[in-house]
Amino acid sequence: MIDLEKDGDVFVLHMRDGENRFNDRFLEAFHRALDEVESSEGPAALVTCGEGKFYSNGLDLAWFGGEGAGRATQVLANLDALFARLLCFPVATVAALNGHAFAGGGMLAMAHDFRVMRRDRGFFCLPEIDLAMGQPLSDGMYAVLQTRLTQSALSEMLVTGSRYGGSEAAARGIVDEAVPESEVLPRAVARMAGLAGKDRATMTALKRGLHREALAVLERS
């Protein structure tokens, strides 16, 4: 489901569960991988990526309607904890968007310090307007999105449900850069290699200050 490998000083977390949708097992595996990175010694940074057509398509709605019935509150709290953890993670992080990043998958990417996206195929999208879910976003989800996006960009994304390819996403500041598919992961690793030696305690303190408002919301869960 989730594999962790190392490329020099950079940990690469591979999500290998199809559309990489969030249920309790997936989130627990993600947290375990972060535990390993956090407990490591010496220089380190983190890249996360999916495989094939998907980075992540967000919440596992089919699971919530079946095996996970009645566990939505627990899973959403665990997701808020993941977002909070990434926002103030002690090493630099980048999401390597190899494919679609929809809904919660896009929010996961936003919880990283940087985002590198494939420009030839794949979309970044917050489609909640078209899902007719009544109360589609939690306070924590809004908080994560507001740490990275301008009010104008976020309003457009939420009200229209538009899908943005890599070049459009870069132009709107949704991602930091858009590159050909073959360069997504190498570029993400290269970005992190130069940041792997940063002091972890200072990194955490700076991120907590930078994201204090979002963390106050997320850590209430």
Q: Whole-angstrom Cα distance, residue 149 to residue 113?
A: 13
CB 183 within 8 A of CB 130: no
Every domain of the chain and the residues it spans: 2-218
Adjacent-strand bridge partners of 217: none
Superfamily of domain covering 2-218: 2-enoyl-CoA Hydratase; Chain A, domain 1 (3.90.226.10)
Sheet holding 177-179, edge to edge: 2-7, 10-15, 45-49, 93-97, 114-118, 177-179
List alpha helices for 40-183, DSSP H. 61-64, 72-87, 104-110, 139-148, 151-160, 166-171
pLDDT confidence tier of residue 133, bands split at 50, 70 and 90: low
Answer whether residue 38 shows pLDDT above 90: yes
Candidates 18, 68, 104, 52; CA nearest to 1 is: 18
pLDDT confidence tier of residue 72, bands split at 50, 70 and 90: confident
Answer whether residue 12 shows pLDDT above 70: yes
pLDDT at 87: 98
pLDDT at 136: 79
pLDDT at 71: 84
Answer whether residue 221 shows pLDDT above 80: no
pLDDT at 134: 61
Q: Mean per-residue pLDDT for 143-161?
A: 95
Of all residues in the chain, the percent with pLDDT exceeding 70 is: 98
